[in-house]
Structure 1
Amino acid sequence: MAQDTAQQASAAPATPARALLPLILPALVVGVGASLLLLGVSAAAEELQHVLWRDLPDALGVGRYSVLWMLVMLTATGVAVGLVVWKVPGHAGPDPATTGLDAPVLPVAVLPGLLLATALMLAGGPSLGPENPIIAVNVGLAFWLGRRLSPRLPRGLWPALAEAATIGALFGTPVAAALVISEALAGRQLRGALWDSVFGPLLAAATGALTTTVLAHPSFDLRLPAFGQPGWTDLLAVLVIAPAAALLGMAAVLAFPHVHGAFARLRHPMLMLPVGGLVLGLLAALGGRLTLFKGLDEIDELAADPTGWSAGQFAGMAVVKLAALLVAASCGFRGGRIFPAVFVGVAFGLCAHALVDAVHPALGVAAGVLGVLLAVTRQAWVSLFTAAVLVASPAILALLCIASLPAWLLVTGRPQMQLREDGTPVR
């Protein structure tokens, strides 16, 4: 069978260079544009976050992360986003519970409201990342502009370029986008060589990543203690931690349609989102300030002192953050699920290290992130890539590949953390 597949691949006609050359300029333009939009929204949200969580409470004489202020701010964020969803044309796009990284092409009139709702969410503290809505906005803009400026190019090219460019910009490397593309192409009958199919998207992803790197200097390396040569005990550790983390993530996945249904029964965004914000405020009061926001800055703080919290505290933050992700994704906040899931995995891995000192913190973090992301995203390559890049240790990669197998058996074929229009989970 493998020989037949190889013969079919070799028999596939290669795309002539003259057919690929016209993709270069669109890929470069989309790559730069997607990165600039991501950086602009992130910068605006960060400035607003400083006003809401630093300047305003200081001026009012209220503790920045006091229980009162967290309740007020998250509920107010629900009100603000609810107003956008209710009143702004396009209603900030479709129900975010029904969308994933593969974004639909939205009408241009929807995009401003979606951007505004995303920026308010990022600044206000709900546990979601920017990935899903930013991809959707970039896809919509690229398709709209591309069809007007270069109508002869295939319609499907623009969404592919925009999605790859945004993923490259989000992670600061085109590798993540290449992995997503290869996973999406798996099982499809390709018209030419694989590299021909990814030529344009990969260039867009590289351009988006390079633009982000030059302007923002992102780094996902948590600078945990260096991991040496792996041993048998390390293999045992990842074989326990990754499936356990996947089971934790699956608990939220299985609860997702039920929690979403409970909020849907409120029917109106000015009820769903403020109530969701209030619940998130209560969760933040329980888990502390580190369980707020998308989670990237917060995992840096956790990793800076892997022994600074007890196993119970790490476990509590992991559970609260996962619950906050579940609520935020269910009640209508516009955002993605990857970055808060990374926080859950980091906290889970550091909990394993705190429980068993022999578990290296980098190993625990990588295995925890791998398991949670496999459950929440069902993107195996991205899960492996993210887990490996956080600890910047090639020696861990082989262990993660082995640990991904039992974790994948636990999640494959089961409901995903994405719903159909009728509220049933995607499988």
Structure 2
Amino acid sequence: MTACGDRVPPDTARPAAGPPAPGPPSAPAAPSARVLLASLLPAVAVGVLASLLFVGVSEAAELLQGVLWKNLPDALGVGRYSVLWMMVMLTATGVAVGLVVWRVPGHAGPDPATLGLDAPVLPPRVLPGLVLATALMLAGGPSLGPENPIIAVNVGLAFWLGSRFLPRAPGAIWPVLAESATIGALFGTPVAAALVISEALAGRGAKGRLWDSLFAPLAAAAVGALTTTLVAHPTFDLHLPPFGGPHWGDLLASLVVASLAAVLGMAAVHAFPFVHGAFRRLRHPMLMLPAGGVVLGLLGALGGHLTLFKGLDEVGELARDPDGWTAGQFLTMAVVKLAALLVAASSGFRGGRIFPAVFVGASFGLAAHQLVPAVDPSLGVACGVLGMLLAVTRQGWVSLFTAAVLVDSPAILALLCFASLPAWLLVTGRPQMQLHDDGSPVV
């Protein structure tokens, strides 16, 4: 202590008490088990709804496809996949979808070239036209899959119904549940949805416990996948010859095939805004879509009937006989299918790009097997699909998962992980196969 009257030197005086120094930000509080449990009922409801809508649209499209491509040409005495019938059907499909886009309320949603798997919430009046345009596209033969428009429809429907019947639930939960449920239904497993959602959460810088964030989406995806499995019995396994085990040559083959497939996919990605701009100069859907149908008919005549439709059934046909075509034929089908995907996505057909990209990658991988017989066909298909999907979707987890489930062989997973590294370096930071509203590519 100092004597009375003494002063403490300024350099030794203690600072006046003030607010404590800010510490590191605390993690957000984890939701309670009761909160997570309460999210199960909406997740189950959305999962069932999303699956049934996907299965219903797919089944209706398959029935219509049978009428258009089997019953009708047989009745008219025309070859089912003759050049004449492909030209007629694809042009007519362009006219039919163009009428829906032009005249049906909502115009079947926004330009599909601007949409990815993360769909916007569309108003209810848009959804019937989008469903109709998607079903006509699937039945008519353009090279697109159902994923993007079905996700968009389920997101809009889930948001509308959820806001009406559970108004206290946060509105942001419905798009996440609908996307997860639809991806689970599309792939027949909730794992794909969990990977997509976790990748999206990481991209948004989400904080907190991952499994708390995934609890409700994973439940919705599991219900969607289970419902689809019980109702439609889908399968992705191509039943290719079993992959015996990795060798040094397999490692080199996986790196080369995946990288070359990514380069081929990026060629289409870079061409996308130019092809899209060419069709947009036609301005009217009744010009753009029929013109797209004509070009698709010509491409079908060049590549054959296996290059039509979304491509999943056609991949199975290729896989049943990996040595049934020459390397040149496989490569021709890959290039024609990629061009058809580019034209269909640019001219206004409502559809997604994952399933046709799977066909392109599988054809490319089988071409590699024919060129170099030492390349195992299962490895070629898996690595071709991996590289192509990385380029087209820029979804790393989905690309790995899809490539792996096509070939039922755990031994191939390590090679796929290695193969993804150079392929990812080729595609990351470059334009994506998705456009902004002004036509510029998303990067």
Per the alignment, in what secondary structure is the counterpart of residue 224 of structure 1? coil
CA distance in 1, matches of 2:25, 2:291: 53
CA distance in 2, matches of 1:198, 1:357: 43
How far off is 1:392 after superposition? 1.1
The answer to whether the aligner puts 1:268 opposite 2:284 as a matched pair is yes
**How is 1:338-417 mapped onto 2 (pairs within 5 angstroms)?**
338-417=354-433
Aligned to 1:233: 249
Q: What is the CA deviation profile of residues 228-270 of structure 1, one whole-angstrom value per residue up to 9, with x for unaligned ones?
A: 1200000000110000000000010000000000000000000
The answer to whether the aligner puts 1:287 opposite 2:303 as a matched pair is yes
Aligned to 1:254: 270
How far off is 1:190 after superposition? 3.4
Say whether the 8 Å CA contact 1:15–1:193 is kept in structure 2.
Answer: no
Aligned to 2:112: 96
CA distance in 2, matches of 1:228, 1:87: 55
Which deviates more from structure 2 when the two are superposed, residues 206-215 or residues 185-194?
A: 185-194
Per the alignment, in what secondary structure is the counterpart of residue 223 of structure 2? helix
CA distance in 1, matches of 2:144, 2:130: 14
Q: What is the CA deviation profile of residues 189-216 of structure 1, one whole-angstrom value per residue up to 9, with x for unaligned ones?
A: 4353111111110000000000001111
What amino acid is the match of 1:280? L
CA distance in 2, matches of 1:200, 1:126: 35
Say whether the 8 Å CA contact 1:101–1:132 is kept in structure 2.
Answer: yes
How far off is 1:187 after superposition? 4.3
Say whether the 8 Å CA contact 2:47–2:221 is kept in structure 1.
Answer: yes
Say whether the 8 Å CA contact 1:9–1:193 is kept in structure 2.
Answer: no
CA distance in 1, matches of 2:106, 2:377: 45
What amino acid is the match of 1:288? G
CA distance in 1, matches of 2:174, 2:440: 30
Per the alignment, in what secondary structure is the counterpart of residue 195 of structure 1? helix
How far off is 1:19 after superposition? 1.3
CA distance in 2, matches of 1:210, 1:220: 15
How far off is 1:10 after superposition? 10
The answer to whether the aligner puts 1:130 opposite 2:117 as a matched pair is no
Say whether the 8 Å CA contact 1:75–1:275 is kept in structure 2.
Answer: yes
Aligned to 2:175: 159
How far off is 1:14 after superposition? 2.3
Per the alignment, in what secondary structure is the counterpart of residue 39 of structure 2? helix
The total of aligned residue pairs comes to 420
How far off is 1:11 after superposition? 5.1
How far off is 1:142 after superposition? 0.1
Say whether the 8 Å CA contact 1:79–1:273 is kept in structure 2.
Answer: yes
The answer to whether the aligner puts 1:210 opposite 2:226 as a matched pair is yes
Aligned to 1:242: 258
What amino acid is the match of 1:231? H
CA distance in 2, matches of 1:412, 1:31: 32
Aligned to 1:317: 333
Say whether the 8 Å CA contact 2:435–2:442 is kept in structure 1.
Answer: yes
How far off is 1:12 after superposition? 5.0
Cα distance change on mapping 1:37 and 1:409 into 2, 3 Å: same
What amino acid is the match of 2:216? G
Q: What is the CA deviation profile of residues 271-310 of structure 1, one whole-angstrom value per residue up to 9, with x for unaligned ones?
A: 0000000000000000000000000100000000000000
How far off is 1:388 after superposition? 0.3
Say whether the 8 Å CA contact 1:13–1:193 is kept in structure 2.
Answer: no
Say whether the 8 Å CA contact 1:13–1:191 is kept in structure 2.
Answer: no
Aligned to 1:35: 51
How far off is 1:18 after superposition? 1.3
How far off is 1:418 after superposition? 0.3
Aligned to 1:183: 199
CA distance in 2, matches of 1:351, 1:192: 46
The answer to whether the aligner puts 1:70 opposite 2:89 as a matched pair is no
Larger Rg over CA atoms: 2
The answer to whether the aligner puts 1:50 opposite 2:66 as a matched pair is yes
Aligned to 1:3: none
Per the alignment, in what secondary structure is the counterpart of residue 239 of structure 2? coil
CA distance in 2, matches of 1:239, 1:342: 18
How far off is 1:21 after superposition? 1.4
CA distance in 2, matches of 1:191, 1:368: 35
Aligned to 2:217: 201
CA distance in 2, matches of 1:192, 1:79: 50
Relative to the length of structure 1, the TM-score reads 0.97
Per the alignment, in what secondary structure is the counterpart of residue 192 of structure 1? coil
Q: What is the CA deviation profile of residues 314-357 of structure 1, one whole-angstrom value per residue up to 9, with x for unaligned ones?
A: 00000000000000000000000000000000000000000001
What amino acid is the match of 2:260? A
Structure 1: runs of 5 or more not aligned: 1-7
Q: What is the CA deviation profile of residues 345-394 of structure 1, one whole-angstrom value per residue up to 9, with x for unaligned ones?
A: 00000000000010000000000000000000000000000000000111
CA distance in 2, matches of 1:43, 1:201: 25
Aligned to 2:437: 421
Say whether the 8 Å CA contact 1:34–1:166 is kept in structure 2.
Answer: yes
The answer to whether the aligner puts 1:109 opposite 2:125 as a matched pair is yes
Say whether the 8 Å CA contact 1:346–1:365 is kept in structure 2.
Answer: yes
What amino acid is the match of 1:399? L
How far off is 1:9 after superposition? 11
How far off is 1:58 after superposition? 0.4
The answer to whether the aligner puts 1:140 opposite 2:156 as a matched pair is yes
CA distance in 2, matches of 1:16, 1:217: 36
Q: What is the CA deviation profile of residues 47-104 of structure 1, one whole-angstrom value per residue up to 9, with x for unaligned ones?
A: 0000000000000000000000000000000000000000000000000000000000
Say whether the 8 Å CA contact 1:314–1:347 is kept in structure 2.
Answer: yes
Structure 2: runs of 5 or more not aligned: 1-23
